[in-house]
Amino acid sequence: MAIEDKSEALYQFTKESLSEIIDAGAVVGMVQIGNEINNGMSGETDWTKRRQLMQAGSKAVREIAQETGQDIQIAVHFTDVSDKSGTIGNAQKLLEKEIDYDIFAVSYYPFWHGSLENLTDVLQELAETYGKKVMVAETSYPYTTGDGDGSANSIDEGSLIPEYAASEQGQTNEIRDVCAAVADVGDAGLGVFYWEPAWIPVGVYEEDAADAAAVLSANRESWEKNGSGWASSYAAAYDPKDAGVYYGGSSWDNQALFDYEGHPLESLKVFRYLYCGTIVEQTVESILPVEINVPLDAELVMPETVSVVYNDRSIVDIPVLWDAAQTAAIDTSASGTYEVDGVFMTEADFKEDAAPSASVIEFLENEKVTAKVSVNRLNMVANSSFEEEDTSMWVITAGGSGMTDFQNKESDAYSGVMSLHYYSTDEVSFTVEQTITGLMPGTYEFGLYLQGGDAGDNAEMYIYADNGKERLTEDTGVTGWCNWQEPVISDITVGEDGTLTVGASISCAAKGWGTLDDFYLYQVK
């Protein structure tokens, strides 16, 4: 379809739809033109064509507003606010293209889009620079890590933010904090929408239940017939890379504001409590992870306390008694990982003004805590996650200019905000490596994390370790955004010269993209 025809169709659809809605008695306060349009709109990526589409939508809204006498605001919607320069750049494009709109909206998911401080900072700059209202059009957080329908969740245990437990309280805290971040913008900050509060299972699935297979089968039939999931398999005809792959049930049901049976959660009340507040009994919300790294042959010292997070956001260090037998079994002369169980010492003297509630005491008396102990997890790779400004230790050999860059974008990094990014309109081909000297002779393990997409059928990706006498490799690949892969090479020998070169080789199709991050080299023997 020609862009002129597509723009006209968008204009007519918008105008007819709004007319029907208003004729039915609805008061329309805002219309969003496009959804998360960072990379395109209605199949168009060129900004000139996108302008035509957006202006067609805006024109329809303005005409309906004038005809009906309703004050209808126009919103545009982008995502990935963690990329500040990209977000501001999109606003600048809207200005340059003279797009008619009132509100700049963003998606903000804490597990993808950076800190709340950054969210406020970006929204403030948008409001002050471009004179627009701002808002969060989408946010959410899990209240459980359970799978409600047999379709895997997008966000599981490994994606949680330490500040927010996967609980109703954690979900509540996330919503409250996002609302506060928008409020901190000032008068230009309009508010927050939650997505998607009512996306609950068709049939409740329990993996260990006797009827699990039957429930899953019935769910799949409903997803295809009624479109009650993300999409049906037929979506592949128009959206092969997204809906055509991820069709089926809801991967978001654990982030709804209703349980799997459709009952409202306590977290739903947060929108009312934002105005009036509330007081609840003090309970334990979460126990912060205990992770101990011990260099080879070093003395193991277990922490005397563990940090416990209460539902009022306070963090209290509680004395812990660790299992003596498990602690004694840890061998610090060889690399390895261990778990040590502990019990809270609830008889400890709490300050009178900080004494926990009876429910907290009961929890601590009955709850175990587990520490993860890693021996010799001393990373020998310099600037392993590219967070330091000096990157001279890295040697990158690329098949074309501009193919790689050290990218400041938290949502594309495995940890921190920096990563090694690659993309090219030509075929992608490069190596990145570091030569490490001064190593102790012994056996080592090398690995890294990578993610990406559009690699093509003939992609070749692998990591390598070269000690000058032997070159070891391990094949890898990419399977989509934030689907992090961790290729590992074990049993690497470092000789008396103490030198090892480690790196990665990436070759893939034109427009292939991705990031590499958190390289590591550990001595294991």
CATH label of the domain that carries residue 119: 3.20.20.80
Identity of the residue numbered 10: L
Q: What is the pLDDT of residue 400?
A: 76
pLDDT digits (tens, 9 = 90+) for 152-178: 898 988 888 888 999 999 999 999 999
Whether residue 118 is found in the same domain as residue 172 = yes
Beta bridge mates, 508? 428
- In this structure, what token pair is assigned to residue 223? 């997803």
Whether residue 149 is found in the same domain as residue 194 = yes
% of the chain with per-residue pLDDT over 70: 98
Across the range 323-347, mean pLDDT stands at 90
At 472, is the pLDDT very low, low, confident or very high (cuts 50, 70, 90)? very high
Whether residue 354 is found in the same domain as residue 256 = no
Alpha helices in 185-233 (DSSP H): 212-226
Active site residue 224: no
- In this structure, what token pair is assigned to residue 114? 């950076």
Question: Is residue 382 assigned to a domain?
Answer: no
Whether residue 28 is found in the same domain as residue 165 = yes
Separation of alpha carbons 386 and 394, rounded Å: 9
Whether residue 314 is found in the same domain as residue 441 = no
Across the range 350-365, mean pLDDT stands at 78
At 468, is the pLDDT very low, low, confident or very high (cuts 50, 70, 90)? very high
The residue to which tokens 């359970």 are assigned: 146
pLDDT digits (tens, 9 = 90+) for 406-416: 998 888 899 88
CATH label of the domain that carries residue 515: 2.60.120.260
Question: Is residue 57 assigned to a domain?
Answer: yes
In three-state form (DSSP H/G/I as H, E/B as E, the rest C), the secondary structure along 458-491 is: CCEEEEEEECCCCEEEEEECCCEEEEEECCEEEE
- Asked if pLDDT for residue 376 goes beyond 80, the answer is no
Whether residue 29 is found in the same domain as residue 141 = yes
Question: Is residue 461 assigned to a domain?
Answer: yes
- In this structure, what token pair is assigned to residue 164? 């927010």
Active site residue 36: yes
Question: Is residue 241 assigned to a domain?
Answer: yes
Burial (0-12, 13-18, 19+ Cβ within 10 Å), 18: buried
Burial (0-12, 13-18, 19+ Cβ within 10 Å), 421: buried
Whether residue 180 is found in the same domain as residue 139 = yes
Whether residue 86 is found in the same domain as residue 131 = yes
Whether residue 48 is found in the same domain as residue 182 = yes
Question: Is residue 501 assigned to a domain?
Answer: yes
- Among 51-60, 107-116, 359-368, 457-466, where is mean pLDDT lowest? 359-368
Whether residue 507 is found in the same domain as residue 471 = yes
| 8 A C-beta contact, residue 174 and residue 182 | no
Whether residue 95 is found in the same domain as residue 238 = no
Question: Is residue 384 assigned to a domain?
Answer: no
CATH label of the domain that carries residue 308: 2.60.40
pLDDT digits (tens, 9 = 90+) for 415-445: 888 999 999 999 999 999 999 999 999 999 9
Separation of alpha carbons 187 and 157, rounded Å: 36
Question: Is residue 381 assigned to a domain?
Answer: no
* DSSP, residue by residue, 296-341: TTPPP---SEEEEEETTS-EEEEEEEE-HHHHHT--TTS-EEEEEE
Mean pLDDT (the chain) is 93
Residue of 20, 96, 98, 138 marked catalytic: 138
60 vs 359, which has greater pLDDT?
A: 60
Domain count, the chain: 4
- Asked if pLDDT for residue 297 goes beyond 90, the answer is no
Question: Is residue 306 assigned to a domain?
Answer: yes
| 8 A C-beta contact, residue 76 and residue 54 | yes
- Asked if pLDDT for residue 349 goes beyond 70, the answer is no
Which of 148, 257, 139 lies closest to 195 in space, CA to CA? 139
Full residue range of the structural domain in which residue 263 is found? 3-201+252-276
Question: Which pairing describes strands 73-78 and 30-32: parallel, antiparallel, or unpaired?
Answer: parallel
Which of 28, 31, 57, 27 lies closest to 42 in space, CA to CA? 57
Across the range 313-337, mean pLDDT stands at 91
Whether residue 240 is found in the same domain as residue 104 = no
